[in-house]
Structures are given as C-alpha cells and as structure tokens.
Amino acid sequence: MGTRAVHFVGSFPAESTADAMQAMLDSAGPLLRTLPTGETRRYEFYIKPIIEDLVTQGALESKKPGDWETSKDRTIYRVARGKKLTGDLMDFGYLREAEEALPIFKKLRAGRDVPGLALQIGMPTPFTLAFIAMGPAGLMFHRKAFVDATVREITGVRRLVGDEVVIQLEATAELVVMSKTQPRHRLADRILKMSKGIGEVAAAAPEGTRFGVHLCLGSLNNKSRATMRNAQPLVDLANSVVRHWPAGRTLEFIHGPFAAGDRPPAPDPEFYAPLAGLSLSAGTSFYAGLVHDIPSEAEQFQTLQHIEQAMGRPVDGVATACGLGRRPRPVADALMVRASTLTTGG
C-alpha cells in the first residue's frame, strides 16, 4: 500500500531539540506529515516540568506532596497564597519551545524533499493540565484560567510560525476518565464537558489554526493510568470531539492509542470492533497508536489488520500509543523503524 503516514506523538529521549528532530526526520523522512520538537526539556516527565514552572512563577504551591512514581502519587497543587489564578499568571513555555525549534525545523526541512512538512507543538488540554496539577477541585474552580493561558500560547505560536505549525492537543485525562467510567463514559463526557472543552479551545484560537488531537492513556515511567476494555471509549471520545469541532479551524488528525505504556495492543480482534463506529470528518486523518516493542513484527501486522478490518478502511497513519520520551534511546530508535515498516503492510 505505502500510503500510511508515520506519526510521532512528541517527546523523544535526546539531549537537545536538534538531536531529537534530526533523529525523527532521519527515521521516517517523507512518511512524516508533522515533525515534533522532541519536548526535550520535559520528555521524561510529560507535564511535571510545566507544573513546576508554575510554582516558580508564583502561580501555584504544593498542597499534597507526592513522589511522582505514578500519576496517582503525584504532587497536588493549589493556587499560591494571596493570588487569584488567571491565564495571565501562567506561562506554560510552549511559545519558547516553538521559538527554539523553528530555526532547526526550517534548516532540516530545507535539506530534505518534504515541502509539506509542518512543525508540531504538543500541548496538554486545559482539562488534562488542570486535573493533573490541581486534582478534581482545582479543575472545577480554575479550568478557565488554564483555557485562557493555553489559548494565549496557541495564539503566540501561530503568530510566530503561521500556517506551517500544527497544534497537537493532548487529551490524557479525558481518555483516562472515559476508560475508567466505561460503560457510562459518554455520560461522563457530557457532565465534565471534556470533548466540548477541546472544541472550545480550538474555537478561541485564531481562525485558520491547524490542530491534531492526541488521545492518551498516560505513560509516566512507561506505565499507563488506565486500560480500555475495548476501543469504545476511544471511538466515542473521538466522535464527540468531531461533533464539537468549530468551523474555521482545521482538525487534521486524531491519534488513538491501542497500547498503554508497557502493555502491548490487545490480540483479540473483538477489542477493535467498536472502530466500525468511528466517524471522522472529511480531511481528518486517523492515526493508530499500535506500535510497541513487546509484540513481534508479525503480531503488529496482525493488530493493524484487526484495526483496519474493524474500520473498513486503511488507517491514515501509524504511531506509538504515546511519546517516545519514556523509553530508552535504543528502544525509541527501534520503535521508529517499526513504525516505518508498518506503513507498507497490506
């Protein structure tokens, strides 16, 4: 077939942005539609460094210390004493990340035959960032501040890079909640306004902004936060995101995980049966996060076949379930090779 893309979620185990971006481009080259920065300042701990920056900035302070061995044992924060939490009080650092990556991206792209390649900047959704930083209570009272700060960063990145950037909104807490509440997950989505909130962030961004949405089950220390019984929560969340998507903002892809941290994809084809109900808009690609180091290559091709048979069509791209940043560099390199190999499976 040869028509599937390779998608890298974002983080990569490298010492520098240049090293990370070079490695990903060298591995997949023309199979890539977007090139992430590698998120090298935060690749091992996802958003922990962002939250710690908010403490340094004076926006948050520790409420319940944790050791971050798992997401359940993370530190929970509260608004710093004497402060009112607003978007203007928080700097997540995405614009600085884009400023560093942009000249590297331009130089790398100029040396390759990849004229349509876009820079990818990953941003946790405000729901995910607020929930992980402050827990359910913080999410309830301070979600708007996180929305405002995220939209400000998107606007800044868009102003800097223009049409050649894709903002990847990363919905980790959303899919974890959906998975843990299955089979009542659609009710949870409506009550918590998770998919609606993703659409509202896109709507508040400048018109013409290009987006992707990465659904995730978490991978702190390569351990997932939840496990789906089958693909139904993923399908329902993806469909709901599409229903709430605003006009004038392009939803280029939705990435869905079929593995979870150190857990490989399910071998049972019935796990993937709900994908028959996946309903994306024209122009929105679906990237299957099945690439994993535990199964054999033959088993990975079998999983890809299960996914595509359930969907009734080929996937648009293949990926790992999450970023490569929680994996040793040799494993990350091997997974990139496997992803490229799977693009040609018929």
Note the pLDDT tens digit of each residue in 101-113. 999 999 999 988 8
Q: Diameter of the chain by CA atoms?
A: 60
Collapsed DSSP state (helix, strand, coil) of residue 61: strand
Collapsed DSSP state (helix, strand, coil) of residue 176: helix
Q: How far apart are CA 142 and CA 147, in angstroms?
A: 9
Q: Where do the structural domains in the chain lie, given as residue ranges?
A: 5-342
Assess if CATH 3.20.20.210 describes domain 5-342: yes
pLDDT at residue 326 is higher than 90: no
Q: What is the pLDDT of residue 152?
A: 98
Q: What is the pLDDT of residue 47?
A: 85
Q: Is the pTM of this model over 0.85?
A: yes
Query: Would you tell me the crossing angle of helices 17-28 and 94-110 to the nearest 10 degrees?
Result: 50
Q: What is the mean pLDDT of residues 150-178?
A: 97
| Residue 172 token pair | 């980790």
Q: What is the DSSP letter of 29?
A: G
CA-CA-CA-CA torsion sign (153, 155, 158, 159): negative
Smallest CA-to-CA distance from 265 within 234, 241, 220, 236 is with 234
pLDDT at residue 187 is higher than 60: yes
Least confident of 52-56, 124-128, 257-261: 257-261
Q: What radius of gyration, in Å, describes the C-alpha atoms of the chain?
A: 19
